[in-house]
Amino acid sequence: MKHLICPVLFFLSLILTSDSPLLADTEELEGYYRLAQECYQKGALEEGLQACQRALEREPNSPRPYVYMGLLYKKMGRLDEAITNFRKALELENNLPEAHSNLGNVYLEKGLVEEAVREHQNAVAISPDTAELNNNLGYALEKKGELEEAVAEYIRSIRLNSELAEPHCNLGRLFLKRRIFHRAISELQKAVEINPSLVEAHYLLIEAYVTQNALEKATRQCETLLELNPKDARAHARLGMVLAKKGMAKEAIQEELKALEIEPRLAEANALLGDLYSSSGNAEEALKHYQAAVGADPDCARAHTGLAHLYNNAGMLEEAMASFKEAVRLDPTSPEARKGLGLVYELLGMTKEADEEFKIYESLLRKS
């Protein structure tokens, strides 16, 4: 789940009478900003930048055109230029929480987590009662690995505005990672009730339902996503996962293939196909899809686990150990990866390491 982007734009608050000589100029200036905002929404980003440049010519010492340009450059993926513009806005007026928060969002996209946390903290310090800003800070802290602090910010965001869907979704994702399923489901249900079009919350809710074997609920969530967008590759992939859990392997494969028709490099669909082919004994097809999943997303823990099982079955214990280790690194709470790594350690005569993995595996089972 991506953090809640906070594209709050700045508007001049001028009181002008109808006979004011500034009225025409101000209306023209505001027209440029309205145009820039409309262009942002519809994706006409170059046209939006041109409108900002016209506004900048009329008020070169205002932070507002730089904030607009920062948002437009960010949406274009031109992150360095976005940073330059947000910084320029803050040089002109440092007391702008939205500019700090949007700058923090760009830093996160560049992987500059420390800088992102700092900017989001600046935003919250300026405006401590804005739920969106607390949510953004929570996400930055989560990326930094400070999970307790992240949870606290998400909860604070919800207390400030319980009708904001994103912090509920973010909390649900964290609870799901921690295998606290009842709380994950509760938060994710709230998220989709508030915002039915928040697709990431639907994806996570499907995953949570599957872990609890609530397969009919998971199926309905998949159907909801496909009603929102029949070409949603991830929704087809999730439906395939649910069908596989129901024992409908043929139908599951069909859904995964539909997903790959829409998005050929979708790691999730390739990994699930790998599982399905592996279960049917088709190791060659399984290997192909697991490798495709890892090629598309090296952080796909499911694919590394699948590869490890294939290597183990083929007697390639060193390769199996390496893949299980990578799966555990990516998902330390996976009982399957922990158990698999323990078994490989045992086969390699590494009894101490095996015992440690089996202890973690049993602990995870007790928590689930």
| Residues sharing a CB contact under 8 Å with residue 233, sequence separation 6 or more, in sequence order | 258, 259, 260, 262, 263, 266, 269
Q: What burial class does residue 63 get, using C-beta atoms within 10 Å of its C-beta: 0-12 exposed, 13-18 middle, 19+ buried?
A: buried
Task: Name the CA radius of gyration of the chain, rounded.
Answer: 24
CA-closest candidate to residue 253, choices 236, 265, 267 = 236
Are the beta carbons of 52 and 68 closer than 8 angstroms? yes
Domain 1-9+21-128 architecture = Alpha Horseshoe (1.25)
- Residue matched to tokens 């023209």: 28
Within a 10 A sphere around the Cβ of 249, how many other Cβ atoms? 16
Q: Is the Cβ–Cβ distance between 137 and 124 less than 8 Å? A: yes
Name the superfamily (CATH) of residues 301-368. Answer: Tetratricopeptide repeat domain (1.25.40.10)
Cα distance between residue 65 and residue 309, in whole Å: 55
Alpha-carbon distance of 107 to 102, in angstroms, equals: 9
Q: What is the pTM of this model?
A: 0.79
Residue 1 has pLDDT above 50, yes or no: no
Are 86 and 99 contacting, i.e. CB atoms less than 8 angstroms apart? yes
Q: What pLDDT digit, counting tens, does each position of 127-153 carry?
A: 999 999 999 999 999 999 999 999 999
**Is 179 strand, coil or helix?**
coil
Structure-token pair, residue 119: 């900017």
**CB count in 10 Å sphere of residue 264:** 12
pLDDT at 368: 63
**Is the per-residue pLDDT at 231 higher than 60?**
yes
pLDDT for res 155: 96
* Residue 324, pLDDT above cutoff 80: yes
Greatest Cα pair distance, the chain, in angstroms, is 90
Average pLDDT over residues 87-91: 96
Pick the CATH number of 213-298 from 3.40.630.10, 1.10.580.10, 3.40.50.2300, 1.25.40.10: 1.25.40.10
The string of pLDDT tens digits covering residues 260-306 is 999 999 999 999 999 999 999 999 999 999 999 999 999 999 999 99
**What pLDDT was estimated at residue 365?**
87
Could you give the residue range(s) of every CATH 1.25.40.10 domain in the chain?
A: 1-9+21-128, 213-298, 301-368
